[in-house]
Structure 1
Amino acid sequence: MTDLSSAQWIETREDAVTLAQWIMSMRDRPLVVLSTDPATDELAVDVEDVRSGVGDLADVVVIRTGRATWALDQHLPDRTQVYGGAGRSYPVDFGSDPDWSRAPLRFPGPRAVGLLVGDAIAQASRGGVFQRRAADDQIPASGRVRGFVESRAIVDVDGHRMATISDELLYPLYPLEWMLSVGQQVTGVLDVASRRLPARIGRHRPPS
């Protein structure tokens, strides 16, 4: 297999070795790897929800728990493997500093999709993915906050429909509601393809 980014399943030892090499190489985008649950041989994290959440900011592949994940483990640094239904998002430069904490293991559960998508978006931001996009895909924009959904603020962007602000692109340690409020005017650079608005916002304001 030569193009892992188009693969839905990684099942063989050979493909797992290629995947390990891809993880450790310098990439243009983060790489999200989801594994199957060994008890059911199915995904415990919805791959389509993850793909939809990251859009074209990250690649997403699936590996079957068993001989493939064992081979992957053998070709990755300690504590950086993925198996048993869990998932990881690996930064673009993971091979230069393969610290497991840079690609936290996310276990199956109600928050798994949000955590993995958040990891990938934050890694895309730190890895310069937004900055490398074509100028036509990045336009100055402003709008008003209409509400909040999980870790996203929904913004009605003037002349460009709806977009989202992600807490991963601002202050990951603080809820967006501490920094934004419904009706607040925000300004930033809209990424047209992903409909995300990395906004310029002042320091957080904790609740009174």
Structure 2
Amino acid sequence: MQPIVIPLDPPLRHAGGEIHELVLAEPEAQKMFMAWRAIESGANPESSAIFARDLVAKSSGLAESAVNDIPLSIMLTGAERLSDAIAAEVEGFELDESETEFVFPAPVTVGNIEYTSLSLREPTSGEAIKANSHLRNSQGPASQLKYQMALVSLVTGVPSPNVHRFPVTIVMKAARAIEVFSMAGRQTGAS
């Protein structure tokens, strides 16, 4: 996913320097989860501002003190554009039911491990129940992403802490593909 660049005019003055543009990169899944927690139980002006601030902070690499100085309208615009770009990339993704390998557009390095793909399959009933437990109390965006991270980890065998560090679109696409396997199995009686 390409970074989103928002010019800051006038530049943001912070810590003796100037920031001329806000550059938002795709966040890790866990960072997106943390931002979405602000609006999990319902959006209101305060929770929307907290979500935008958290997402911009986690996606820009700027210090929280600098992010707190960004005008609210720019922060809300940045969070909205980044969220829309993530949604558009995931919505357009399809993995053919006959494919069991999800190849990443670029390698993902977590610690000293480089991931280039994930082997996918239909989840077992135990894996599905365990992943779905994250949706027990809420169907909000944070709970949905927590479910997706758990599903990907359980089905692929990649440790949860590593899945949490994957780019959010990788996790969402892999979960979407795993769900397609489940639906295909229901329709045909095979998996």
- TM-score scaled by structure 1? 0.32
Structure having the larger proportion of residues in helix:
2
Structure having the larger proportion of residues in strand:
1
